[in-house]
Amino acid sequence: MRSWPAPPVPSLPAAGLPAADHQGDGALRLYDTASGSVRPTAPGETARMYVCGITPYDATHMGHANTYLAFDLVNRVWRDLGHTVRYVQNATDVDDPLLERARETGQDWRELADREIELFRQDMVALRILPPDVYVGAVESIPLVVEMVERLRGKGAAYEVGGDVYFPVAADPAFGTVSRLSREEMGPLFAERGGDPDRDGKKDPLDALLWSARRPGEPYWDSPFGEGRPGWHVECSAISIEYLGMGFDVEGGGSDLVFPHHEMSASHAQVATGKRPHAKVYVHAGMVGLDGEKMSKSKGNLVFVSKLRRGGTDPMAIRLALLAHHYRSDWEWTDSGLEAAGARLDRWRAAVARPSGPAAAPVAAEVRGHLTDDLDAPSALAAIDRWAATPGDDPDAPARIRALADALLGVAL
């Protein structure tokens, strides 16, 4: 599938040491859900990242934008540290919610998916989110999924229930190590997030669907285990290991994907390949809400990026409104937050239009220090606020701060 065009990224003076030297201190450190601690990432020259993409049945809302922005910071910080970044993202372009929405609204599911993916691309371009190197849909990845299910079947890690194929979680001794949840905690989340704990014939209520048998009126594909379509978790397992291999640096998504999605994807991949781990670090962005509830397509309480853009909101103000919150916190979208971001954008633009300002190098060091420390964007913004509010006589500083905000924060001034 087509990705989207990349915005230019200025390279900053005195950017990081060669990537190979970033073993500890200088490295990007991120909170890892699986270990419950902040850990250094990407020791190698190439940093490899997989981020779960949208299910394209509605437009990009602020929750999505916040999650993709968090991983855009990871991408930008790694590049600044001298890494080459290999970034892979999927789009779940066939799944229950998409087919339901298409049915309800009388649209062709493929047209709905294509249209929403195109709108997502435009939103990502407007927000200056760096594109994935591989942007790939579930439909075009069906041969990979079939191959993966075959591998699992070959290892005795798949069984049939009425034509559907399930993954027995008992096959993975490491099951549970991504989310670190107890079985009691897993049950309700599994049911809430697409699982079917009560299905008769399953060996364990938590066993996950790998392949869903053909149902009347729904799209299907042929496979050695019958006509049907892929389960959700196996889509991200198959795509991530095809394009990144096992043990890639970061797997990312919103915190609603910790369990079951990232847990199951890791288990499928680990059992199919006999290797561990699926990802070295599992990183999760907080949930953005509106009026006390998680913003979600199913709840319908949405603020869309495209709608604000059409109303004339500067996408850089949207970006700053999101960056004002730490990526791991749960927070509520408000009009006043957006207004404050617009005012900050005006202040920064006025400050970089000055003939001179305070020296840029200490600000760059501060911004880098905050971002490498688990992406502390709010503190990075505060450092630029202080620069903007202080007079100075360095004539090079305004252009340097402009490049700094662009390269590391993705904010074009």
Binding residues (CB under 5 A) for Zn ion: these are 52, 236
At closest approach, how far in Å is the CB of 50 from Zn ion? Answer: 8
Place of tokens 């490899």: 48
At closest approach, how far in Å is the CB of 316 from ligand 5CA? Answer: 20
Rounded distance between C-alpha atoms, residue 250 and residue 395, angstroms: 40
Task: Identify the three-state secondary structure at position 38.
Answer: strand
Residue from 130, 236, 316, 323 touching ligand 5CA (CB under 6 A): that is 236
Quick count: other Cβ atoms within 10 Å of Cβ 154? 10
276 touches 174 (CB < 8 A): yes
Residue from 41, 67, 141, 237 touching ligand 5CA (CB under 6 A): that is 67
Asked whether position 66 contacts ligand 5CA by CB under 6 A, the answer is yes
Rounded distance between C-alpha atoms, residue 285 and residue 90, angstroms: 17
State the pairing for strand pair 279-285/248-254.
parallel
Lay out the site mask for ligand 5CA across 33-62 (x = CB under 6 A, - = otherwise).
-------------------xxxx-------
Q: Which does 64 bind (CB under 5 to 8 A by kind): Zn ion, ligand 5CA, none?
A: ligand 5CA
At closest approach, how far in Å is the CB of 209 from ligand 5CA? Answer: 14
Q: Which residues are within 8 A (CB) of 343 and not within 5 positions of it... i.e. 6 or more apart?
A: none
Rounded distance between C-alpha atoms, residue 306 and residue 318, angstroms: 11
Asked whether position 295 contacts ligand 5CA by CB under 6 A, the answer is yes
Lay out the site mask for ligand 5CA across 85-104 (x = CB under 6 A, - = otherwise).
-----x-x------------
Asked whether position 302 contacts ligand 5CA by CB under 6 A, the answer is no
116 touches 54 (CB < 8 A): yes
- CA end-to-end span of the chain, whole Å? 31
Residue from 39, 199, 276, 294 touching ligand 5CA (CB under 6 A): that is 294
Query: Footprint of ligand 5CA on residues 243-262 (CB under 6 A)?
Result: 253-254, 256-257
Asked whether position 141 contacts ligand 5CA by CB under 6 A, the answer is no
Cα-based distances in Å from 353 to 13, 280, 344, 401: 20, 43, 14, 11
DSSP 207: P
Distance, CA of 8 to chain centre? 21
At closest approach, how far in Å is the CB of 262 from Zn ion? Answer: 8
The smaller minimum CB distance to Zn ion, of residues 236 and 269, is found at 236
**Contact residues: ligand 5CA, CB under 6 A:** 52-55, 63-64, 66-67, 90, 92, 236, 253-254, 256-257, 285, 287-288, 294-296
